[in-house]
Chains A and B, each alone.
Chain A
Amino acid sequence: MNALVKDPILWTDVGAVTDVPLRGSRRVPTADGDIAIFRTGDGKVFALRDRCPHKGGPLSEGIVHGHAVTCPLHNWSIELATGEAMGADRGKGCAPVVPLEVREGRLFLGRI
């Protein structure tokens, strides 16, 4: 009945927070393509589908700065919290956000 509830139901432990380098990223392959997990300079973590909204560049390979990543292929900047393209490219596309939780230093990715 409750079709609007989008809470992820399955959580998978994919590693320790500290396995992701600060200002860096790691990827987690899935049957539907990679997920990129980012860790920013202030230690926050974010997860996005590892596909740039521009031409599918692997965001996990970009440079992480502030709470954004710059795509390695053509330099779009993507906001990590929303997956939205930033700056001049704002509104042109969005990399889907993947549910991510930290529990006692471990990273859990959610599946809906």
Chain B
Amino acid sequence: MTRERLVVIGNGMAGCRAVQEVLKRDPGRYEITIFGAEPRVNYDRIMLSPVLAGEKSFADIVINDEAWYADNGIALNAGCKVEAIDRIAQVVRVDDGRDVPYDRLILATGSDPIRLPLPGLDLAGVVTFRDLDDVEAMMAASAQPGRRAVVIGGGLLGIEAAYGLARRGMAATVVHLMDVLMERQLDASAGFLLTEAMRARGVETVLEAQSDEILGKDGRVTGLRLKDGRVLPCDLLVMSVGIRPSTALAKAAGLAVERGVVVDDQMRTSDPHIFAVGECVEHRGQCYGLVAPIWDMCRTLGETLTAGSGTYQGSVLSTRLKVSGVDVFSAGKFGGGEGCEDIVFRDAGRGVYKRIVLEGGKVAGAVLFGDASDGGWYFDLMKSGEDVGAFRETLVFGQAATEGLRGLDPSAAVAAMTDTTEVCGCNGVCKGEIVRAITDEGLDTLEAVRAVTKASASCGTCTPLVEKLLKLSLGDAFQAQTGPKPVCGCTHRGHDEVRRRIVSEELKSIPAIMQALEWTTPDGCSACRPALNYYLVCAWPGDYRDDKQSRFINERVHANIQKDGTYSVVPRMWGGLTSSDELRAIADVVDKFDIPTVKVTGGQRIDLLGVKKDDLPAVWADLNKAGMVSGHAYAKGLRTVKTCVGTDWCRFGTQDSTGLGVRLEKFMWGSWAPAKVKLAVSGCPRNCAEATCKDIGVICVDSGYEIHVGGAAGLHIKGTEILTKVATEDEAVWTICAVMQFYRENAWYLERIYKWMDRVGLAAIKAQVEDPEARRALYDRFSYSQRFFRIDPWAERVAGRDSHEFNPLSRRMEFEPA
């Protein structure tokens, strides 16, 4: 009796697994022939990464050795490429000239790595990362010492390639188009941690980088040039920018092909004798690039080709990265979305970040970094669609923590916990220790428990549990307590702690702070982000790159938004002085741009109100031309310095108040602060510049300068208090800058000087400015910072910086109703 002939094109993961699934169900049914373009047996492609990294050998990753083919009577044609399918004659044409007939045919041709069409693509040393030949080419390139590699593409494969090459001693750099590594699997927080982890493993990352040209010499690659002109020298260039289903054979044979070879739920193509599995397939509009769906597809195909009853319904995906010591897991809607809720857990000590996304009370996705051991559990919960409401509180701690408590009401659950159950994962504190501390040491507040046991002192996520333990032990005697006022709802930490740790732990970016201080949201909120951005600007003036998206609109576009969405523009008038040229330029700008309102402000300068956003750069260009710069009327920073006429004109003037005001403004302008800062200098105690209701004021007297602080005349009317008196103008400037810097370094965001002074006391400020060394150090730090910030933001914008802020994305719909 002749058996049906089953021919498989592709000796890869899908092709061989399909054969195994058939053999498992009906071993004698088919006469099986496999063609594989690669000259070797079937191996585990995903383990090429550890082979590249030198952690495994090829022999370790073989799935089916030659004996397997022989034992199962399979004719393996390794190194033989199928060139065509003749569907009428039911034969495949092989590149060695043979025509091989089939009754049933399986396409398992996988996919091809995409090669970006860059100039220089054909140079030697430009490779992709798909099969063993590629790995061998990379290993050869890394053999000589001092070699450099650039990997284009910061997805899973690109990162694994770079890691492998770094392990082999190459200096490796990943160039990625997006601003987050593996953005299709990771949110920004996890992406940031990955960037750091890769750096620690010798892999540098260049984000938001577009490749322009591959450079070469004598036919060999020498570097990669980016669109912004940067050149990254290299001896090996790995392109890992994605894959494309390998469909050429199917297309030429006239099968239905979209992005992949189209199959139905039985894995059948548009020809009933031809089936397809693996990465070459498109099922219900979906192509896959991971092995889990392939196993599902092959199971169905095994059914179809034997009993005939299989149904494939698509796969839910999860991803793990294979870089030693970097535990990453991602699945589902890891980034949240419509109607989703996030549970975020961070443990800075262990470098852990977990984000569980819930939707309708069910797990909809998860991203885990640093500890992915519960990935499988979350993935199961996600696939099963189980309602997790009952154990939501402990969900983020993982399976072990949760299973102990499941099904019980919360207080009963706490009572039922054994003494050795860990309550605080960050500090490894068990229930028994906490209860003992409460009873033995008579603790009755959360703060006290924190201080004694450290429980809930780090990420704070277990705070509710600790409170329940207090309640359980103390009964009604316990009242929930609060610690220092938190920055916002994203953290339980206060401003002081955040500021202190930015400096002591050298945290230099918002994601770094959020991780180290265990923020409970993925990217903060509109309250904490501007605060953190300011704290970084203040702590690291030379290093930190301002995060525009964490600034309020006024500071982002350097103008004040008005209620109708137009802006007001206030140029600086140093010390309240102006000239006919400036006034003429202002008048011209008003006419040219049809500015509806011109007003003298309460701060001794002129406000142009009702400027259209798109006109801002042009308005500034004209003002700049007349020598005027931004007045920062929008800034949490130095605003105006009001002056009176002083000795120049006034019959009572004791010192040059106008000159001092101008000097102060010219030195201090552009500086950022926790809140707005207004100065004034009056020439005598008659105080025409209203210096005694300013943040910092100077009253000139015969013998020198009285420095006042802590005034305001807005929501609260506060007269200043006198800080000190100095003899010379220089000393006045040093003192004022020192106060400013002390305030900049210590106040909480949005806290004006008078409020800060209420909190810390005048004496604390006095102590700083009356100690010459402390004053000097503060002044120096202020001066250093001003090197970076005494810059006109308008001129920068006129020169084209952040032009996207002022231009619409597109004008193509401008005249169409939408």
Contact = CB atoms under 8 A, between A and B. Distances in A.
Interface of A: 12-15, 18-24, 26-32, 34-35, 37, 40-44, 55-58, 61-67, 70, 72-73, 75, 77, 79, 81-82, 98, 107, 109, 111
Given A20-B809, A43-B335, A61-B561, A30 B525 contact: no
Interface of B: 177-180, 183, 187-188, 208, 334-340, 342, 521-526, 529-530, 548-554, 556-557, 561, 563-565, 804, 808-818
B336 A67 contact: yes
Contact of B526 (A30, A58, A63, A73): A63
A72 B814 contact: no
A13 B485 CA distance: 47
Contacts of A79: 338
Contacts of B339: 81-82
A27 to B, nearest CB: 5
Contacts of B549: 21-24, 63-64
Contact of B813 (A14, A23, A43, A72): A14
Given A31-B817, A67-B337, A15 B810 contact: yes
A14 B814 CA distance: 11
A8 B693 CA distance: 58
Given A31-B818, A66-B342, A67-B337, A72 B561 contact: yes
Contacts of A61: 553, 556-557, 561, 565
Given A35-B818, A42-B336, A14 B522 contact: no
Contacts of A109: 813, 818
Nearest to A58: B565
Nearest to A98: B818
Where chain B touches its partner, the secondary structure class is loop
Contacts, number: 141
A90 to B, nearest CB: 13
Q: Nearest 9 A-B pairs (CB), nearest first?
A: A42-B335, A81-B338, A70-B526, A26-B809, A14-B810, A30-B818, A23-B549, A61-B553, A63-B526
Given A32-B817, A43-B180, A63 B530 contact: yes
Contacts of B556: 61
B552 A66 contact: no
Given A22-B549, A57-B565, A28 B337 contact: no
12 contacts: A18-B177, A18-B208, A23-B550, A27-B809, A29-B808, A29-B811, A31-B814, A41-B187, A44-B335, A67-B336, A70-B526, A73-B563
Given A31-B815, A81-B337, A22 B188 contact: yes
Given A22-B179, A73-B561, A30 B523 contact: no
Contact of A66 (B179, B180, B521, B554): B521
A26 B552 contact: no
User: By CB atoms of chain A within 10 A, which of B337, B812, B813, B818 has the most?
Assistant: B818
A35 B808 CA distance: 10
A58 to B, nearest CB: 4
User: By CB atoms of chain A within 10 A, which of B183, B565, B809, B811 has the most?
Assistant: B809
B614 to A, nearest CB: 9
B522 A15 contact: no
A56 B472 CA distance: 50
Contact of A42 (B188, B808, B810, B818): B188
